[in-house]
A and B are shown apart, each in its own frame.
Chain A
């Protein structure tokens, strides 16, 4: 495939960022917004075209004779050569997951661009301060995210990984006058930075032993006769493992070095994807404008961790313990986030915890995937869920954004009963809720069902666990739904307009995303995205009993939610009173933030930084000053020598001469 279009996919958002960033303040708001949308629209078209070509052209560089999908290096340019082998290249790797991600990112990003045209202005149509900057950052983010998914080597991924982190930082802190936004952005950056430290060390370990950064050399084998075309290969991954095993120290602290590397790399993923215990930044990140939450903190950036594991999946397969680590981190996070989501009152936070929980689903799915079981169904399910989740979660967030824009608050206690006022928002939000709850035929049903199927294939414990979480998901989403749109009639405050649906720029994305959420479940994902490129019909692995159970669980959960929240009633209060401890802990998110606060402030700041700063000023610098002080003291101490008395002068003179002679005499003796 010609490299021009793929380069443009990256270049247009970058160019938009530069143009809007440098010249934005000289432009009118409208022009800036239009430019941003146009740019993203073009990127969208190009990305769709590229993905379409990849999946459907049947070109030999994309699919082989047996129907296996291949990895194609569209281009790969040296960027920084550390050594002859360790070279960072910037390139474009087209394979099933990156093509799929291109579609997801550009779609959501375009929707958000469009949506923000409406969202980022007030009811009088006045654009927000920094509107141009907002579009510049959005473009920067899109560029970074696209660069991340098409990375040809792990270091390129790391580079863009950092860039998405930075653009996320900038966007969370968009309202920089608000202290909470500033601290949220700081928190997000630092927590993910900490995770990236693990990622970096993992990369260093991996690259040291394997001598390469390239995914194609780590996980796939070249296809003969075609330059730059590769096929996922277990034997390459096995070769990598044997490199580790034949090294001088294959085991470090009880685990193989490869496991360490993979777990450390996964740590990066945990940070970006907000897995326990590095999840604390994501709820706070909701301080950013809602479209940003939809794009970055629901649909794209936060799934980068999942994408990372998927990218290195063949390597993870070599170390089952690493995969199990992934599974359990995911499972714990899923449950934790679901419980917390049940108790939050800020709608964006509920959605944020829901996101954490759903990403954890994807992680679990990857963790339980085994090639020998349903042909690695979990991998496909994970990617499928990533896709559908992106759509319906973006939908939910944008819906929430519409609500917030209309009400001017994040708090659902100020909403209630909005269904009559905002019908479009209501219906699309409902579709999103049904999708995430896993009701047939909405997209979430299919993807979640496959995840549960693959869990069952791996371990019953995980299956039961995740089913429970799925039930909780349905419960808290419908709790949210009812509390926003039902519960009691909406009171319109005097002097305020009644809330109403938003302009087309905001409604259109909702409708489009709702439509996708409705039908996306029917995409035969197994045909497109599988762990090794061999396509299969996932219906062959579809387990109706699992589907029935999960549907049952979801329906029951929705029913409970309906009973509790459809109409104003004391039941929720009773529930809360029934388990005060659990409620309190869940409401305070199990005090993770307080724990981190304690670690950072009490231990790191007060326990390390301050003592070090004190030590530096008083001990180290004090020592240096002490040299000066000692010299001065010595100077003062020998002052009496120069007493002004000639007789003493002579006395010293004589003493000196005699000592000189005497000591030399003694030495000579």
Chain B
């Protein structure tokens, strides 16, 4: 069976949506970080697929994916650090308790 671009793009989109859904519904910040990772990876898949199927002449998409992965890692590391900091200060990583700053 030939694998068409759409067969990869739709799962990527679903993944992205799952990420969004996770971000919006999960309360634990770590879970939220995982959701974010899902979204970023969906983007990576997109790039790879577009490069492979639509524009195979150059490798721009692939390179972009590589960089995106690196950036995602940096983001996660930073986010984890901040969350840990928060945990030290508030003893809690429930995102819905982050409501001191509002209105």
Which A residues contact B (CB, under 8 angstroms)?
A: 639, 642-647, 650-651, 654
Contact = CB atoms under 8 A, between A and B. Distances in A.
24 contacts: A639-B103, A642-B102, A642-B103, A643-B99, A643-B102, A643-B103, A644-B98, A644-B99, A644-B100, A644-B101, A645-B95, A645-B96, A645-B99, A645-B102, A646-B95, A646-B98, A647-B23, A647-B24, A647-B95, A650-B20, A650-B23, A650-B24, A651-B24, A654-B20
**5 nearest CB pairs, A to B:** A644-B102, A644-B99, A647-B24, A642-B103, A639-B103
A644 to B, nearest CB: 3
Contacts of B102: 642-645
Interface residues of B, number: 12
Given A645-B102, A650-B24, 10 more contacts: A642-B102, A642-B103, A644-B98, A644-B99, A645-B95, A645-B96, A645-B99, A646-B95, A647-B23, A650-B20
Contacts of A645: 95-96, 98-99, 102
Contacts, number: 29
Nearest to B36: A650
Contacts of A642: 102-103
Contacts of A650: 20, 23-24
B36 to A, nearest CB: 10
Nearest to A651: B24
Contacts of A651: 24
Interface of B: 20, 23-25, 95-96, 98-103
B97 to A, nearest CB: 10
A650 B96 CA distance: 13
Contacts of B25: 647
Contacts of A654: 20
Contact of A644 (B20, B23, B24, B103): B103
A639 B102 CA distance: 9
B11 to A, nearest CB: 20
Nearest to A642: B103
Nearest to A644: B102
Contacts of A639: 103
B15 to A, nearest CB: 15
Contacts of A646: 95, 98
A644 B25 CA distance: 15
A640 to B, nearest CB: 8
Contacts of B95: 645-647
A650 B102 CA distance: 15
Given A639-B103, A642-B102, A647 B20 contact: no
B61 to A, nearest CB: 22
B92 to A, nearest CB: 14
A661 to B, nearest CB: 14
Nearest to A636: B103
Nearest to B23: A650
Nearest to A639: B103
A645 B97 CA distance: 8
A616 to B, nearest CB: 37
A646 B32 CA distance: 11
A257 B98 CA distance: 83
Contacts of B100: 644
Nearest to A643: B102
A512 B20 CA distance: 113
A629 to B, nearest CB: 19
A650 B95 CA distance: 12
Nearest to B100: A644
Contacts of B96: 645, 647
A8 B101 CA distance: 86
A366 B96 CA distance: 98
Nearest to B102: A644
Nearest to A647: B24
A635 to B, nearest CB: 10
Nearest to A641: B103
B66 to A, nearest CB: 26
> Of B95, B100, B101, B103, which is in contact with the most chain A CB atoms at under 10 Å from its CB?
B103
B43 to A, nearest CB: 14
B19 to A, nearest CB: 11
A650 to B, nearest CB: 6
